[in-house]
Amino acid sequence: MTRFYIFIFRFLIFVFLQVFIFNQLEINPYVHIMVSPLYIMLLPFDISVIRLLFISFFLGIFIDALSNTFGLHTSALVLLAYFRPFVFRWFAPRDGYDSIKNPSIFDMGNKWFVFTFGSLVIVHHFWFFAIESFSISEILLILQKTIPSALLSFIVCVILQTLLLKKSK
């Protein structure tokens, strides 16, 4: 039961960080730091896809409601949750995943985390900015926003993990 409370606490922390800190940062018009994908990434390996989609939906709804972004975060997080099992399967260790470990940089290693979370962040950010512009003719603008935002978001998420998480036993 304490595991459940940890996930609720993390949920609230990530909503707070995204809405009240990172959405308020004005780096430049092309860079938006989004840390909410990290919450979905850190959910256990053995979580069901339906539960993963529901959690992503509710995380996105909370962020959208508080940010006034009309479903952008929700759609991007649900898409990320949909692709998460495929990406995890693609980059799975030879022996499979250990249910005791978490999908974090500490438990799975740098290389695994860079490839899996990096792939998911790029998908998330590309979808977010594609839906925001809602025009395929602006693909260069979408990529101009996606690449630096995904890179900076990835770096911030790695820093957040070092501050908030510890290695599993």
13-30 tens-digit pLDDT:
999 999 999 999 988 888
**pTM: predicted TM-score of the whole model, two decimal places:** 0.93
User: Residue 36 forms beta bridges with which residues?
Assistant: none
Question: What are residue 135's phi and psi, to 5 degrees?
Answer: -155, 120
Measured N-to-C along each axis, helices 49-67 and 72-90 cross at an angle, to the nearest 10 degrees, of 150
Burial of 50 (0-12, 13-18, 19+ CB in 10 A): exposed
**pLDDT per residue of the chain (169 residues) written in tens, 0 to 9:** 577 888 999 999 999 999 999 999 988 888 999 999 999 999 999 999 999 999 999 999 999 999 999 999 999 999 999 999 999 999 998 888 887 888 989 989 999 999 999 999 999 999 999 999 988 889 999 999 999 999 999 999 999 998 887 655 5
pLDDT in tens, 101-118: 889 899 899 999 999 999
* 33 close to 153: Cβ distance less than 8 angstroms: yes
